[in-house]
């Protein structure tokens, strides 16, 4: 009996059409952003623009920290850099998680559950930060009012 090996992740992705990958990114129910080595957004999906109440053009090219409440920027940077250090040490892709207050387009605060993952180097040696965001504002405010 011949064993069948499961395809590796790159083989699976390579086998998917651009349209499928675009749908997986753009129609994701969570905010997804791709950042360069300086933490600037290179790409964002519709869910992320909706969470931040901003147009794509207002986000792409700007650092993620731009949207984090000033009081929480150091926590955001610390998590991001732990991911970078782990990725540089050739560990498995490092993931960091935090809940951060972010500022929406109208100046209101939105609580986002943020997960950062640093990619492995591509063929050119470039690495990217992938950020996944979930809006947890309602849960945070409901928790603040429990027992009040």
What tokens does 67 get?
Answer: 């949207």
DSSP state of 107: S
Q: Which residue numbers in the chain have pLDDT < 70? A: 1-15, 77, 79-94, 143-148
34 CB contacts (<8 Å, ≥6 apart)?
41, 42, 43, 44, 128, 129, 130, 131
136 in helix, strand or coil?
Answer: coil
- Distance, in Å, from the CA atom of 104 to the CA atom of 16, rounded to the nearest integer, reads 34
pLDDT 10s digits, 52-70: 999 999 999 999 999 999 8
Q: What is the pTM of this model?
A: 0.77
């Amino acid at each position: 009996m011949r064993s069948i090996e499961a395809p590796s992740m790159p083989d699976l992705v390579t086998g998917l059409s651009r349209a499928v990958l675009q749908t997986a990114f753009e129609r994701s129910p969570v905010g997804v952003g791709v950042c360069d080595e300086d933490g600037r957004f290179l790409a964002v999906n519709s869910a992320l623009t909706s969470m931040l109440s901003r147009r794509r053009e207002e986000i792409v090219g700007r650092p993620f920290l731009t949207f984090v409440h000033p009081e929480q920027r150091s926590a955001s940077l610390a998590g991001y850099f732990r991911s970078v250090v782990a990725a540089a040490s050739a560990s498995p892709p490092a993931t960091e998680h935090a809940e951060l207050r972010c500022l929406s387009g109208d100046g209101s605060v939105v609580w986002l559950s943020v997960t950062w993952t640093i990619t492995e180097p591509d063929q050119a040696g470039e690495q990217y930060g992938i950020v996944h965001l979930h809006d947890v504002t309602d849960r945070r405010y409901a928790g603040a009012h429990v027992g009040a």
